Chains A and B, each alone.
Chain A
Amino acid sequence: MPTSTQKPLELILARNLMSALSTPAFLVDEGGLLVFYNEAAGMLLGKPWEELGTVGAQEWGALFGPFDDGGEPIPYDDLPLVKAVRDDRPAHAEFEIRSTDGAGHRVEVSAFPIQTPHGSRGAIAVFWPAADGADGASA
């Protein structure tokens, strides 16, 4: 029998779609593990996916935030991607993330679960510059 661990098709197709988008987008599996982000997200973070590789949400938080209005790290369980995976519900939030050069970026994030006939497979999050356009350095 095969020995490789095949990603579910829904994640494969999501990654393929995200690869073609110019909107920053992130993909986590059903365990909350970040398994991909696209080129636009890599530009926002200052680090392409190929250089980062698979990381857990906790590690992700340490690398890039996000941070609340007071500059405090937002608890892991409050992140939209985590809520989407955990609760099988869409989630939305506005916060700041920091790229590798220390620059802060205020973004709005919408996350939604990937539902299949066999249950949830993970979640997708799409980032947008915050509505007030305040995407400036604050680090």
Chain B
Amino acid sequence: MKVKLWGTRGSVPSPGPETIRYGGNTSCVGVTLSDGSLLALDAGTGIRNLGLSLPDEPSRLHLLLTHLHLDHIQGLVFFAPCFRPQTEIVIWGPASPEASLRDRIARYISAPLSPVEVRELPCDVSFRSTPESEWEIGPARIRAASVSHRGPTLGYRIDDGDRSLAYIPDHEPALGADLEKLEDEWISGFGLAEGASLLIHDGQYADAEYPNHLGWGHSSLSHALSFARRTGVDRTVLFHHDPLHSDAQLDQLGEEARERWAAAGGDPGAIELGVEGAELDLRAATPEPSPVPAV
């Protein structure tokens, strides 16, 4: 399984010279499974470049949406495969008692917000609410579960062979709770992330910023580190960077994260901040034990 970060920013696109290294595109992650098939996680503005990277040939894509806030769907009408009749796109997302997934997405892909309607998209697109139980896409087993954020929001776990990715980009597990004291089963998202090879997790706020954003649905650095430690993941990418955070501020945040992780006895190399364009090979995430020399 290979992972590419196409958009790491949260809330709103934030291009500019001060964000050029970590990137200004909003949430999108491409996942190449062991059979070569592709999953896209979220459709923030980062999905535009993902679409441009794909060959113009018949294909089937699965797009897994965590939720329908604009920073997670804004790139959908600029995703080139949507305009290719030979492409089949299956869009998964959270269920809601209010309206179907298609109808909720159509609020964005419709006038006056969009020049095209869902029914006008040339591709073969279908919409599916995620099931409660695990399901399969190609060689991968997929699991979705509701997590603590504003509005119906999912996190995903993707298991492919012995590698696993947990993707929880918008998450406030410490809302009204002390993550250090809660039992595992009472921690939002715990079951998705437990023991994952790679966790991509909300790390939007510095600790000093969090009190002014309590209940906004995102994590402080401390909360993200606690969640990573409690769930016992191999490697963590902090994600959904605040649009006000410059590259220099994110450098500082990353350094603090590594120092605190190391101070707690962890490998500082196992914590990093998501960088737009970064590619992560899960086969290399945790080195395999060296083979026993023949004697």
Minimum CB–CB distance for B192 against chain A, Å = 7
* A20 to B94 alpha-carbon distance, docked (Å): 28
Once A9-B145, A117-B97, A118-B132 are accepted as A-B contacts, the answer to whether A4 and B176 lie under 8 Å apart by CB is no
Residues in B whose Cβ lies below 8 Å from that of A7: 185-186
User: Which chain B residue has the least Cβ–Cβ distance from A5?
Assistant: B185
Once A19-B177, A117-B96, A118-B95 are accepted as A-B contacts, the answer to whether A4 and B188 lie under 8 Å apart by CB is no
* A9 to B187 alpha-carbon distance, docked (Å): 9
**B148 contacts partner chain A, Cβ-Cβ < 8 Å:** yes
Please, what's the 1-or-0 string for A9-35, where 1 marks a CB less than 8 Å from any CB in chain B? 110110111011000000000000000
Contact A9 B188 (CB under 8 A): yes
Contact B194 A16 (CB under 8 A): no
Chain A binding surface SS class: loop
Contact A13 B152 (CB under 8 A): no
* A117 to B132 alpha-carbon distance, docked (Å): 10
State which of A1, A15, A116 has its C-beta within 8 Å of the C-beta of B159: A1
Please, what's the 1-or-0 string for B17-54, where 1 marks a CB less than 8 Å from any CB in chain A? 00000000000000000000000000000000000000
State which of B129, B146, B157, B164 has its C-beta within 8 Å of the C-beta of A9: B146
Residues in A whose Cβ lies below 8 Å from that of B191: 2, 4-6
Contact B145 A12 (CB under 8 A): no
**B190 contacts partner chain A, Cβ-Cβ < 8 Å:** yes
Contact A17 B192 (CB under 8 A): no
Contact A12 B148 (CB under 8 A): yes
* A12 to B183 alpha-carbon distance, docked (Å): 11
State which of A2, A9, A13, A118 has its C-beta within 8 Å of the C-beta of B194: A2
User: Which chain B residue has the least Cβ–Cβ distance from A115?
Assistant: B97
Contact A2 B192 (CB under 8 A): yes
* A100 to B45 alpha-carbon distance, docked (Å): 59
Minimum CB–CB distance for A23 against chain B, Å = 15
State which of A2, A8, A13, A118 has its C-beta within 8 Å of the C-beta of B195: A2
Once A3-B194, A8-B146, A117-B95 are accepted as A-B contacts, the answer to whether A16 and B152 lie under 8 Å apart by CB is no
Residues in B whose Cβ lies below 8 Å from that of A1: 141, 159, 164
Please, what's the 1-or-0 string for B159-201, where 1 marks a CB less than 8 Å from any CB in chain A? 1000010000000000111000000111110111111000000
Minimum CB–CB distance for B230 against chain A, Å = 10
User: Which chain A residue has the least Cβ–Cβ distance from B146?
Assistant: A9
Residues in A whose Cβ lies below 8 Å from that of B91: none
Q: Which of B89-119 touch A at CB < 8 Å?
A: 94-97
Please, what's the 1-or-0 string for B122-138, where 1 marks a CB less than 8 Å from any CB in chain A? 00000001001000000
User: Which chain B residue has the least Cβ–Cβ distance from A36?
Assistant: B186
* A16 to B175 alpha-carbon distance, docked (Å): 7
User: Which chain B residue has the least Cβ–Cβ distance from A18?
Assistant: B176
Please, what's the 1-or-0 string for A90-109, where 1 marks a CB less than 8 Å from any CB in chain B? 00000000000000000000
**B206 contacts partner chain A, Cβ-Cβ < 8 Å:** no
**B1 contacts partner chain A, Cβ-Cβ < 8 Å:** no
**B147 contacts partner chain A, Cβ-Cβ < 8 Å:** yes
State which of A2, A13, A19, A20 has its C-beta within 8 Å of the C-beta of B148: A13
User: Which chain B residue has the least Cβ–Cβ distance from A1?
Assistant: B159
Contact A9 B177 (CB under 8 A): no
Residues in B whose Cβ lies below 8 Å from that of A9: 145-148, 188
Residues in A whose Cβ lies below 8 Å from that of B187: 12
Q: Which of A49-75 touch B at CB < 8 Å?
A: none
| A to B CB contacts below 8 Å, 17 in the list | A1-B164, A2-B157, A2-B193, A4-B191, A5-B185, A5-B191, A7-B186, A9-B145, A9-B148, A12-B148, A12-B186, A13-B148, A13-B175, A16-B175, A116-B146, A117-B152, A118-B95
**Given A1-B159, A4-B191, 16 other A-B contacts at CB below 8 A?**
A1-B141, A1-B164, A2-B191, A2-B192, A2-B194, A2-B195, A3-B194, A4-B190, A6-B192, A8-B146, A13-B148, A13-B175, A13-B188, A16-B176, A16-B177, A117-B94
